[in-house]
């Protein structure tokens, strides 16, 4: 792996699934432009679990949402940068044989930020999936589990549905039209009415049954007991852990290449947290899915992630192997974070909090964002932005943006 090549090119090196480069996301507010994400760059290696760590409001969730084009504009503004992603499709130029454009992977590389609505929709839920922080809020309270999980299949696995229903070959004419409309949720008043009566209703029931089967399988995948019963329930009838399992089932239903997990365990009880985390880890290993794992909890990230990027106030301050960063943090902020962790090496009651507050991100001035809280602040920290650079020539993957290491 040669990380140096990543930033400048429009392509991805062979083993990367995604690469974020100089991502800038701002938000308009009455007081001015909030620089929530201000030049973030990192990559995700295919099959790895990448951690993105930082305090609340540091911009990590915004970064995650940018992958899915889920940032509302306005008030959000995509001020620059790109997120390249290696999709499943063949490269258009070389039709799979491998060329410069696709870094000889044969697969098309797209910039997620510049895709059209239709294009990104094809990826969402299919190639890139997302698990949200609070499953209680991320599930629609008014719909059954079944209908919510089913949507993924209806949207992306239409042919599977018909195949499973055993009517893929026999469909024709009006039935085909109606059922497709039904599966795509494009029915209107009239077609809905038609589907209530035979012969259409018979085919519809087959389709329903097929969808139920798919949903039930997906739920079972996440070790939900009694999947057939659970799927008729409404979200508020399930426990938090169960809801998150549903979310996960929904996310991995189409076996995505990249799973974005935005603090998937934060809203859960401590006991449940561990199990959900294990589940994610387990699934990731089995399906060889790449995961972008977002958390404010460094110790958690250390447990599950291969690599970590630490974010502070809209910027990446340090990135590298999870172990390396945990054992040998370079940036004063990372050091502070690790010191604040309760661990066996510290005595009880000696947790160190980082003093001060996260600076306001409205029209920030030049200079290190952490300067105001940094105990090792130097003169130029307030004046110029430090760049993210390799800590040493030996370990090029461990990078830090701090003048202490220049």
The nearest distance, CB 263 to other proteins, in angstroms, is 12
H or E element in which residue 203 lies: helix 200-221
Q: Contacts for 220-228 with beta carbons within 8 Å, 24 or more apart? A: 221/249, 221/252, 221/283, 222/246, 222/248, 222/249, 222/252, 222/279, 222/283, 223/279, 224/249
The nearest distance, CB 185 to other proteins, in angstroms, is 5
Closest CA to 335 of 359, 317, 321, 314: 317
The nearest distance, CB 378 to other proteins, in angstroms, is 28
Shorter beta-carbon distance to other proteins: residue 142 or 342: 142
The nearest distance, CB 265 to other proteins, in angstroms, is 16
Contact footprint for other proteins (CB under 8 A): 27, 29-30, 65, 68, 70, 74-75, 117, 121-126, 129-130, 132-134, 137-143, 151-152, 155-156, 185, 234-236, 247, 250
CA 96/CA 115 separation, integer angstroms:
21
Beta strands in 46-175 (DSSP E): 49-53, 76-90, 107-111, 128-131
CA 265/CA 259 separation, integer angstroms:
15
Shorter beta-carbon distance to other proteins: residue 180 or 396: 180
Conformational region of residue 366, where left means phi above 0, alpha means psi within -120 to 50, and beta covers everything else:
beta
* Rg of the chain over all Cα atoms, to the nearest angstrom: 23
Shorter beta-carbon distance to other proteins: residue 75 or 356: 75
Shorter beta-carbon distance to other proteins: residue 129 or 368: 129
Shorter beta-carbon distance to other proteins: residue 5 or 239: 239
The nearest distance, CB 27 to other proteins, in angstroms, is 8
CA 116/CA 275 separation, integer angstroms:
37
The nearest distance, CB 34 to other proteins, in angstroms, is 10
DSSP state of 240: H
Sign, CA torsion 80/60/33/116: positive
CA 123/CA 116 separation, integer angstroms:
11
The nearest distance, CB 133 to other proteins, in angstroms, is 8
Distances from the Cα of 302 to the Cαs of 52, 55, 329, 348, in angstroms?
Answer: 11, 16, 13, 21
The nearest distance, CB 121 to other proteins, in angstroms, is 5
Q: Two tokens at 165?
A: 């229903």
Shorter beta-carbon distance to other proteins: residue 15 or 158: 158
Shorter beta-carbon distance to other proteins: residue 40 or 150: 150
Shorter beta-carbon distance to other proteins: residue 187 or 335: 187
């Amino acid at each position: 792996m040669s990380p140096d090549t990543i930033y400048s090119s429009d392509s991805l090196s062979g083993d990367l699934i995604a690469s974020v480069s100089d991502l800038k996301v701002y938000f308009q507010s009455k007081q001015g432009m909030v620089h929530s994400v201000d030049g973030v760059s990192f990559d995700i290696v295919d099959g790895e679990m990448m951690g993105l760590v930082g305090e609340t409001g540091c911009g990590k969730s915004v970064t995650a949402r940018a992958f899915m084009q889920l940032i509302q504009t306005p008030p959000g503004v995509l001020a620059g940068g790109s997120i390249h992603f290696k999709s499943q499709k063949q490269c258009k130029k070389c039709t799979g044989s491998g060329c410069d454009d696709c870094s000889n992977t044969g697969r098309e590389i797209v910039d997620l930020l510049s895709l059209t609505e239709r294009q990104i929709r094809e990826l969402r839920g299919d190639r890139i999936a997302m698990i949200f922080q609070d499953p209680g809020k991320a599930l629609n309270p008014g719909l059954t589990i079944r209908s919510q999980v089913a949507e993924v299949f209806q949207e992306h696995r239409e042919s599977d549905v018909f195949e499973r229903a055993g009517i893929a070959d026999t469909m024709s004419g009006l039935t085909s039209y109606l059922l497709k409309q039904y599966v795509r949720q494009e029915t209107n008043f009239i077609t809905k009415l038609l589907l209530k009566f035979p012969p259409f209703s018979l085919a519809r029931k087959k389709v329903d049954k097929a969808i139920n089967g798919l949903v039930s399988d997906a739920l079972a995948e996440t070790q939900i007991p009694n999947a057939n019963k659970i799927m008729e329930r409404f979200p508020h009838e399930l426990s938090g852990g169960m809801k998150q399992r549903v979310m996960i089932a929904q996310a991995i239903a189409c076996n995505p290449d990249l799973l974005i997990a935005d603090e998937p365990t934060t809203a859960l009880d401590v006991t449940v947290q561990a199990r959900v985390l294990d589940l994610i880890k387990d699934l990731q290993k089995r399906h060889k899915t790449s995961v972008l794992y977002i958390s404010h909890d460094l110790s958690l990230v250390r447990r599950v992630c291969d690599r970590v990027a630490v974010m502070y106030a809209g910027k990446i301050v340090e990135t590298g192997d999870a172990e390396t960063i945990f054992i040998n943090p370079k940036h004063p902020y990372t050091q502070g974070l690790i010191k604040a962790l309760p661990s066996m090496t510290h005595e009880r009651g000696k947790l160190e909090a980082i003093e001060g507050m996260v600076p306001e991100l409205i029209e920030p001035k030049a200079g290190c964002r952490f300067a105001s809280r940094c105990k090792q602040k130097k003169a130029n920290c307030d004046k110029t932005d430090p760049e993210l650079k390799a800590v040493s020539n030996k370990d090029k993957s461990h990078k830090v943006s701090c003048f202490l290491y220049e």
